[in-house]
């Protein structure tokens, strides 16, 4: 199963995908946005000794500063919750979004510490003026193995393009949670899901 390897490679390179807080005017096209953020974050990861020695706090800071403004976490949580999103109250939706955000950020940050200088290639991109939804395709090049596709799904918002899903080798990092979320909700309701997300995030804290 190459799956696991692939998840690793994907995770470790996707952060890069969203950074670039300073020079992201709202009208930056999606492919350019992804490109800037990828390059900027990878450059930092390559040169930062703390990150390379696995300092997870530092990586989380980097992600917070560079990446998160380009993500739409509400939409991500909504996608992961599927039908159950509608039965959650606005307050529950907010809590869910916060917890899911924490989980994703921790995962990405962990993955970034495993980054090993793989090259990223950007595939040709085209978009029409009126499009509000875009898929930016990139791939991770590695010797002796098929390149891993790393695709970003963005939608246009008043504040610019926002990432709402990422697929690594065809695995959506957002919808991959659907089944486990749904089964948690079936078992113990929305609050049950919130509780287990919370426990998961706190548990990871301790490590």
Partner 1 sequence: MAIPRSRMASLAGGFMARGRKLVVVAILVPALGVLDGCATAGGIGNPKDPIEGFNRAVFAFNDGVDKAVFKPVAQGYVAALPYPVRLGVSNFFGNIADVFIAVNNLLQGKLPAALGDAGRVAVNSTFGLLGLFDVATDAGLEKHDEDFGQTFGRWGVPGGPYVVLPFLGPRTTRDAFAQILDSKTDPITQLDRISSRNSLMATRIIGERADFLPTDKIIDEAALDRYSYVRDAYLQRRRSKIYDGNAPREKEDDAQFDDGLKYVLLQPPRNAVSLVKRPVDPEQAVTLIAGTPAADERQ
Chain contacts with partner 1 (rule: CB under 8 A) = 1-8, 11-12, 78-79, 82-83, 103, 106-107, 110-111, 114, 133, 143-147, 149, 153, 167, 169-173, 175-184, 186, 196-197, 200, 204
Nearest to 73 by CA among 102, 51, 46: 102
Closer to partner 1 at the Cβ: 158 or 203? Answer: 203
Q: Work out how close the CB of 69 gets to partner 1 at its nearest, in angstroms, rounded to a whole number.
A: 22
CA distance 72 to 77: 9
Task: Report the alpha-carbon angle 201-206-207, nearest 5.
Answer: 100
CA distance 147 to 168: 11
Closer to partner 1 at the Cβ: 24 or 51? Answer: 51
Distances (CA, A) of 41 to 19, 177, 188: 6, 26, 39
CA distance 163 to 156: 9
Closer to partner 1 at the Cβ: 65 or 87? Answer: 87
Q: Work out how close the CB of 115 gets to partner 1 at its nearest, in angstroms, rounded to a whole number.
A: 10
Q: Work out how close the CB of 135 gets to partner 1 at its nearest, in angstroms, rounded to a whole number.
A: 9
Kindly give, in sequence order, each residue whose CB lies less than 8 Å from that of residue 107, ignoring residues fewer than 6 positions away: 11
Closer to partner 1 at the Cβ: 10 or 42? Answer: 10
Q: Work out how close the CB of 102 gets to partner 1 at its nearest, in angstroms, rounded to a whole number.
A: 11
Q: Work out how close the CB of 143 gets to partner 1 at its nearest, in angstroms, rounded to a whole number.
A: 5
Closer to partner 1 at the Cβ: 23 or 192? Answer: 192
Q: Work out how close the CB of 177 gets to partner 1 at its nearest, in angstroms, rounded to a whole number.
A: 7
Closer to partner 1 at the Cβ: 12 or 36? Answer: 12
Other CB atoms within a 10 A radius of the CB of residue 109 amount to 23
**30-47 and 56-66 helices cross at what angle (nearest 10)?**
160
């Amino acid at each position: 199963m190459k799956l696991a390897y692939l998840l690793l490679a994907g995770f470790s390179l996707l952060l890069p995908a969203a950074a670039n807080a300073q020079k992201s005017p709202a009208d930056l096209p999606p492919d350019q946005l992804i490109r800037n953020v990828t390059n900027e974050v990878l450059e930092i990861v390559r040169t930062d000794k703390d990150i390379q020695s696995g300092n997870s706090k530092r990586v989380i800071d980097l992600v917070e500063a560079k990446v998160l403004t380009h993500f739409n976490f509400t939409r991500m949580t909504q996608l992961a919750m599927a039908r159950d999103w509608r039965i959650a109250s606005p307050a529950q939706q907010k809590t869910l979004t916060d917890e899911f955000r924490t989980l994703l950020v921790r995962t990405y940050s962990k993955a970034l510490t495993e980054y090993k200088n793989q090259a990223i290639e950007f595939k040709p991109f085209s978009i029409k003026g009126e499009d509000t939804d875009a898929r930016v395709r990139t791939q991770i090049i590695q010797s002796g193995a098929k390149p891993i596709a790393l695709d970003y799904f963005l939608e246009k918002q008043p504040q610019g393009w926002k990432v709402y899903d990422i697929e690594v080798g065809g695995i959506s990092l957002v919808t991959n949670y659907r089944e486990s979320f749904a089964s948690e909700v079936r078992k113990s309701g929305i609050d049950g899901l919130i509780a287990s997300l919370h426990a998961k995030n706190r548990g990871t804290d301790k490590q």
